[in-house]
């Protein structure tokens, strides 16, 4: 049975994450938001510390853990593992700054993909590699099955051709996990993921995007032209199984969607806490012993936001806990991502409104959190895609039956 209290063994690590967020991330938040594309050098020391904690067994990374179902099933019983630890620490870190968390070396979304579907040998080979995730294409957004980037087997290498956009950390990472199709005629079943190092001939970073939010995190466009990748860099099995579809690569999302949900939960909490302080200074404080309709409008709005935040928080914990315990969590991962993504953006925008001029100007970080939160409702599957996945799961429909 799931226990919704923070596990005792994680409390010290979560407290450390909050301390880092308060003393390192938030103080640098505005500076790197204004200095877009400048690399936050302060993160090198933080990444080294996270690596040390992971090596010593006293902590896990801030997002590089994966859904290893076989390990969770083999242990038996109930466990609180790396997925739950990751979402708890990410909530704290994103209370500090979302963009800086996404800029942390060796903690990219590509690292989560490797951790989820790589073989044991690949895990050792790619240890210490900072990996970005390259899925989206100019003609392919949330429908991952429509990927046009191709991978053709040529001897002991695959030859990749295509273009990827919105690659988080694409300019700074060591490698990118590229989704490509082995045969377009076979549909989604032929889509595989490949670890492609940035120094591979044929891979070029075309440009870095200017963005609304998470400006401290670089977002790149990457082109692949006859890029030869060792066959051993294909994650998972090279066989195309039409019955299984592309469940192997999609398993990545079972891990990364709760992580993104955790980012939204952490960012929203930051906005709620600051707004509560600002309302208190104005003489408005929510009263939990009185009906909402008998309280000031600002207090009533705040109470509703708190309730929405709590729902997103609990859904995120559930999705991560299920992954740790080897239980299929695709439905819960999408529910957490959909709820947290929406309420994260909704809460931060409403907090801007409640704070008035303080919320709209750069005097406080509220306007920045509102900008940062928008991407959390978009990447790793938009709000609309999550709702579609949830409907398919609940109704027992396939992707061809319910579009």
Phi first, then psi, for residue 14 (nearest 5°) are -65, -40
Q: For residues 269 and 370, state if they share a domain.
A: yes
pLDDT > 70 fraction of the chain, expressed in percent and rounded: 90
Question: What pLDDT digit, counting tens, does each position of 166-212 carry?
Answer: 999 999 999 999 999 999 888 888 999 999 999 999 999 999 999 99
List the alpha helices (DSSP H) in 120-168.
120-125
Mean per-residue pLDDT of the chain: 90
Is the per-residue pLDDT at 77 higher than 90?
no
- Return the pLDDT at 242: 63
Is 318 a domain residue? yes
Where in the sequence is the domain holding 347, given as residue range(s)?
Answer: 247-395
Please check whether residues 304 and 280 belong to one and the same domain: yes
- Determine the average pLDDT of the residues in 211-229: 97
Domain-ending residue, one of 95, 125, 155: 125
Furthest C-alpha separation in the chain: 73
Same domain membership, residue 302 and residue 195: no
pLDDT of the residue at 245? 52
Report the pLDDT averaged over residues 66-72.
52
Same domain, 252 and 391: yes
The pLDDT, as a whole number, for residue 62 is 43
Query: Is residue 241's pLDDT more than 80?
Result: no
- What CATH number corresponds to the domain at position 360? 1.20.140.10
Kindly list the distances between the CA atom of residue 294 and the CA atoms of 192, 297, 298, 299, 307, in Å, as whole numbers in the listed order: 56, 9, 12, 10, 17
Q: What is the CATH number of the domain that holds 204?
A: 2.40.110.10
Q: What is the mean pLDDT of residues 66-83?
A: 64
> Residue 61: its pLDDT value, please?
43
Quickly count helices (H) and strands (E) in the chain.
14, 8
Q: How many CB atoms lie within 10 A of CB 11?
A: 12
46-60, 159-173, 249-263, 362-376: range with lowest mean pLDDT: 46-60
With respect to residue 185, please indicate whether it lies within any of the assigned structural domains: yes
Same domain, 258 and 316: yes
- At 255 the pLDDT is 82
Contact 247, 108 (CB under 8 A): no
Among 36-40, 98-102, 250-254, the least confident range: 250-254
| 402 belongs to a structural domain | no
Whether residues 67 and 106 share a domain: the answer is yes
pLDDT-based confidence at residue 79 (cuts at 50, 70, 90): confident
Is the domain of 293 the same as that of 369?
yes
Q: Mean pLDDT throughout 111-126?
A: 89
State which of 180, 208, 235 marks the end of a domain: 235
List the CATH number of the domain containing 83: 1.10.540
pLDDT in tens, 307-328: 999 999 999 999 999 988 989 9
Q: Which of 195, 215, 235 is the last residue of a domain?
A: 235
Domain co-membership, 331 together with 191: no
Instruction: Examine the pLDDT at 57 and tell me if it is beyond 70.
Output: no
Q: Give a yes or no: residue 289 inside a domain.
A: yes
Q: Does residue 177 sit in the same domain as residue 276?
A: no
Q: Which residues are catalytic?
A: 380
Q: Is residue 240 part of a domain?
A: no
Q: Are residues 284 and 349 in the same domain?
A: yes
Q: Residue 161, Cβ neighbours under 10 Å: how many?
A: 16
Please give the tally of structural domains in the chain: 3
Q: Which of 17-21, 77-81, 114-118, 323-327 has the lowest mean pLDDT?
A: 77-81
Position 55 in a domain: yes
pLDDT value at residue 67: 52
120 & 162 share domain? no
Of all helices (H) and strands (E), which one includes residue 267? helix 247-281
pLDDT computed for residue 75 by the predictor: 54
pLDDT digits (tens, 9 = 90+) for 131-173: 999 999 998 877 777 899 999 999 999 999 999 999 999 999 9
Q: What string of DSSP letters covers 296-321?
A: -HHHHHHHHHHHHHHHHHHHHHHHHH
Same domain, 256 and 164: no
In a domain, 32, yes or no: yes
Residue 3 within a domain: no
Tokens at 297, concatenated: 């409008």
């Amino acid at each position: 049975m799931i226990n919704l209290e923070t596990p005792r063994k994680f409390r010290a690590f979560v407290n450390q994450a909050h301390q880092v967020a308060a003393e390192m991330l938030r103080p640098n938040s505005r500076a790197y938001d204004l200095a877009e594309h400048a690399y936050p050098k302060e993160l090198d020391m933080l990444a080294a510390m996270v690596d040390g904690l992971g090596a010593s067994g006293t902590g896990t990374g801030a997002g590089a853990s994966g859904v290893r179902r076989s390990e969770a099933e083999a242990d038996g019983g109930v466990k609180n593992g790396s997925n739950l630890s990751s979402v708890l620490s990410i909530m704290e870190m994103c209370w500090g700054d979302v963009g800086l968390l996404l800029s942390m070396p060796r903690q990219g979304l590509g690292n989560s993909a490797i951790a989820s579907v790589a073989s044991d040998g690949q895990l050792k080979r790619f240890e210490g590699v900072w990996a970005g995730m390259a899925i989206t294409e100019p003609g392919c957004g949330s429908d991952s099955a429509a990927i046009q980037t191709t991978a053709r087997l040529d001897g002991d290498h695959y030859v990749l051709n295509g273009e990827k956009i919105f690659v988080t950390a694409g300019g700074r990472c060591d490698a990118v996990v590229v989704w490509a199709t082995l045969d377009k005629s076979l549909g989604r079943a032929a889509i595989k993921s490949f670890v492609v190092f940035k120094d591979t001939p044929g891979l070029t970073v075309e440009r870095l995007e200017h963005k609304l939010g998470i400006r401290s995190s670089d977002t790149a466009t990457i082109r692949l032209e006859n890029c030869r990748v060792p066959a051993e860099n294909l994650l998972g099995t090279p066989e195309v199984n039409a019955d299984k579809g592309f469940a192997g690569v999609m398993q990545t999302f079972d891990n990364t969607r709760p992580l993104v949900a955790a980012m939204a939960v952490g960012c929203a909490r930051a906005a709620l806490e600051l707004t509560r302080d600002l309302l208190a200074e104005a003489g408005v404080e929510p009263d939990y012993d009185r009906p909402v309709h008998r309280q000031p409008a600002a207090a009533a709005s705040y109470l509703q936001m708190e309730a929405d935040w709590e729902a997103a928080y609990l859904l995120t914990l559930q999705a991560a806990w299920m992954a740790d315990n080897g239980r299929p969590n695709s439905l819960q991962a999408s529910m957490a991502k959909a709820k947290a993504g929406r309420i994260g953006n909704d809460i931060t925008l409403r907090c801007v409104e409640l704070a008035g001029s303080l919320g709209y100007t750069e005097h406080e970080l509220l306007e920045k959190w509102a900008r940062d939160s928008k991407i959390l409702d978009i990447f790793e599957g938009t709000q609309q895609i999550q709702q579609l996945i949830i409907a398919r799961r609940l109704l027992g429909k396939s992707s061809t039956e319910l579009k």
